[in-house]
Structure 1
Amino acid sequence: MAILSGLSAFPITPTDRDGRVDATALRKLVARLCAAQVDSIGLLGSTGSYMFLTREERRRAITETLGETGGQTPVVVGVGALRTDEAVKFAQDAKAIGATAGLLAAVSYAPLTDDEVFEHFSIVARESGLPIVIYDNPGTTHFHFTPALVGRLAEVPGIVAIKNPTDGTDTINSHLAEHRRIVPEEFSIGYSGDRNCCEAMIAGADTWYSVLGGILPEPCLKIVRAAQRGDAEEARRLDRKLMPLWDLFKKFSSLRVVYALAELLDICSTEPPRPILPVSAAAKREIAEVLQNLPSGSGW
């Protein structure tokens, strides 16, 4: 059975200007996800700004999150780092605190070869003892995992899942089928890129790794559940209602939009880590209008 399935919700990590985690705000975000009964929480992903946080603040975020979940919701923690030894330490920290798995990207200043990435992932999995999810995020790392490399890594003990990007819906079926052929049956295949993940779940993906799910989990869960029970028509109907948000994600970036949503929903008031700037006042008004026009309650 796959270690991850359903909706994996990725919240922001609220911090002050010095990069210190706002524990109260983070717990509030996590409490919303637990109340919605998401299938897992993706802590310290790209939306969680893991690369901007020190080891101490990463540990603080994990501790606060696990304290809020009470061990009832699986937590996947970003453990990526430029150096392999640092990634091992981050993964060891996550395991010691109680994380379910680690999310590991091929982060590097210099371009990496497939063999270098294979060694990096193998060492982190072996030396940390934490189950590892491959994070294929070429938009930020500029490294793309080929099917051959995924197949090799899927045979490494402790590497249990992959979080794939989606550039569009036309190739999801063939991409998923190719991955199914090369990984063990229990290996979890999931996708990110919220705009396209409804189609990924309809195609039979195990997991939707969702940015919006980290701030508005309920509509995302409804899409996932519809897809899981084979109701593609309903999943697509719900997804269409979110199209104005997907358009905002494309226009301003999902990271900036969810920071604005956190404030508009009165969850917390925090800014992205510098040098990333928050959206302009005009953009925030545009986001507020879209939010106001979204269905509420049974409207989904």
Structure 2
Amino acid sequence: MFSGLSAFPLTPMRGEHPDEQGFIRLVTRLAEAGVQSIGALGSTGNYAYLTLDERLRLTRLAVEHAAGVPVMVSVGAVRTRDVLTLAEGAQQAGVSALLLAPVSYQPLTQDEVFSLYQTVAQNSDVPLCVYDNAATTHFTFTDALYSRLAALPAIGSIKLPGAPLAAPDGRERVAALRAALPQSVKLGVSGDMFAQAGMSAGCDLWYSVVGGLYPRLALRLMRHAQEATAQSAAFFESLAPLWALFSRHGSLRVIAALAVLSGLLDEPPLPAPLKMLPAQEQEALRALLPVLDSWETA
């Protein structure tokens, strides 16, 4: 489950409701490309904007159309009660893992976050992935909390923020985490612009936004990153304009625009109040389409 490329598809919207057929097309695209796992209803999957019933319905659709590819689904919610409802429904649907971010309105303490994961772990028969994304949750995991969580038998992976892995001591950072955590806990890099650095530093897998739309391109990028060659760095550098747009606007808005510009979706897939990229930025994306498409179809 926790190796290779984990691709995170959009959950497209049609008006106020999820576009189920569009979602199925994206999941099918990932399965046909041969990704190692599918991360449904992550941040790219708009989970925070969906009702519990919508999330459970989409979870079932993801498993049904994944053609046997392992599916991990996000169960993050403000109330632990709702997290448990989502976790139970996801397991009944047949997911292979649960992705859990410490979502909250009030700032959470380290003990409160540990209690959240402990509670879900006690009610889970599938592995949990710890989702460390301070940019959206405004919660900062400490290494001490990583260690406490990793002692829970259900914890199977940590979805790491990529920026620290791009530093000169990124390899040392991964090595230190491996020394402190059980071997059973796999380390994954997130933040696509940092994937090359994270895989070169020794991460086990790449949690990818780009892979949710261009899975074959992402698989090629991952293989080159694992080899850590000069060609690998050149591949990632050639996508610098895309990474810059990610930094300015967030990966969700950029991937949503790409989905429409490429013809994979026929209308803006974002839930209100989110808005699509400005027209000028969409033109910059349009200029990248030939490169992205050539890598996807090569």
TM-score range, shorter chain: over 0.9
Please state whether the residue corresponding to 1:66 is helix, strand or coil.
helix
Q: TM-score, normalised by structure 1?
A: 0.93
Distance 1:262 1:124, change over 3 A: same
Matched, 1:77 2:49: no
Q: TM-score, normalised by structure 2?
A: 0.94
Distance 1:21 1:294, change over 3 A: closer
Q: Which amino acid aligns with 2:252?
A: L
CA-CA distance at 1:124 after TM superposition: 0.7
CA-CA distance at 1:167 after TM superposition: 2.1
* Counterpart residue number, 2:141: 145
Which of 103, 120, 124 in structure 1 is aligned with 2:120? 124
What is the rounded CA distance, in whole Å, between the counterparts of 1:290 and 1:166 in structure 2?
Answer: 23
Matched, 1:246 2:282: no
CA-CA distance at 1:223 after TM superposition: 1.9
Over residues 84-137 of structure 1, what are the superposed CA-to-partner deviations in whole Å (9 max), with x where a residue is unaligned?
Answer: 121111111111101111110111111111111111001011113331100001
On the 8 A contact 2:100/2:129 being kept in 1, the answer is: yes
On the 8 A contact 1:147/1:178 being kept in 2, the answer is: no
Q: Which amino acid aligns with 2:174?
A: L
* Counterpart residue number, 1:110: 106
Q: Which amino acid aligns with 2:150?
A: A
What is the rounded CA distance, in whole Å, between the counterparts of 1:84 and 1:22 in structure 2?
Answer: 27
CA-CA distance at 1:276 after TM superposition: 1.1
Where in structure 2 are there 5+ consecutive unaligned residues? none
- Report sequence identity in percent: 41
> Which residues in structure 2 correspond to 1:182-261 (within 5 Å)?
182-228=180-226, 230-261=227-258
CA-CA distance at 1:13 after TM superposition: 0.2
Q: Which amino acid aligns with 1:12?
A: L
Q: Which amino acid aligns with 1:196?
A: F
Distance 1:298 1:83, change over 3 A: closer
What is the rounded CA distance, in whole Å, between the counterparts of 2:133 and 2:30 in structure 1?
Answer: 24
On the 8 A contact 1:132/1:161 being kept in 2, the answer is: yes
CA-CA distance at 1:153 after TM superposition: 0.5
* Counterpart residue number, 2:6: 8
Distance 1:15 1:85, change over 3 A: same
Distance 1:270 1:299, change over 3 A: closer
Which of 18, 23, 30 in structure 1 is aligned with 2:20? 23
Q: Which amino acid aligns with 1:89?
A: T
CA-CA distance at 1:240 after TM superposition: 1.9
Please state whether the residue corresponding to 1:8 is helix, strand or coil.
strand
Q: How many residues align?
A: 295
Over residues 51-98 of structure 1, what are the superposed CA-to-partner deviations in whole Å (9 max), with x where a residue is unaligned?
Answer: 11111111111111111113x211110000111121111111111101
User: Quick check: 243-252 or 24-33, which moved more?
Assistant: 243-252
What is the rounded CA distance, in whole Å, between the counterparts of 2:161 and 2:268 in structure 1?
Answer: 27
On the 8 A contact 2:217/2:292 being kept in 1, the answer is: no
Please state whether the residue corresponding to 1:185 is helix, strand or coil.
coil
Please state whether the residue corresponding to 1:163 is helix, strand or coil.
strand
What is the rounded CA distance, in whole Å, between the counterparts of 2:233 and 2:148 in structure 1?
Answer: 34
On the 8 A contact 1:92/1:130 being kept in 2, the answer is: no
Matched, 1:93 2:89: yes
Q: Which amino acid aligns with 1:133?
A: C
Distance 1:291 1:88, change over 3 A: same
Please state whether the residue corresponding to 1:296 is helix, strand or coil.
helix
What is the rounded CA distance, in whole Å, between the counterparts of 1:295 and 1:15 in structure 2?
Answer: 24
Where in structure 1 are there 5+ consecutive unaligned residues? none
What is the rounded CA distance, in whole Å, between the counterparts of 1:294 and 1:13 in structure 2?
Answer: 21
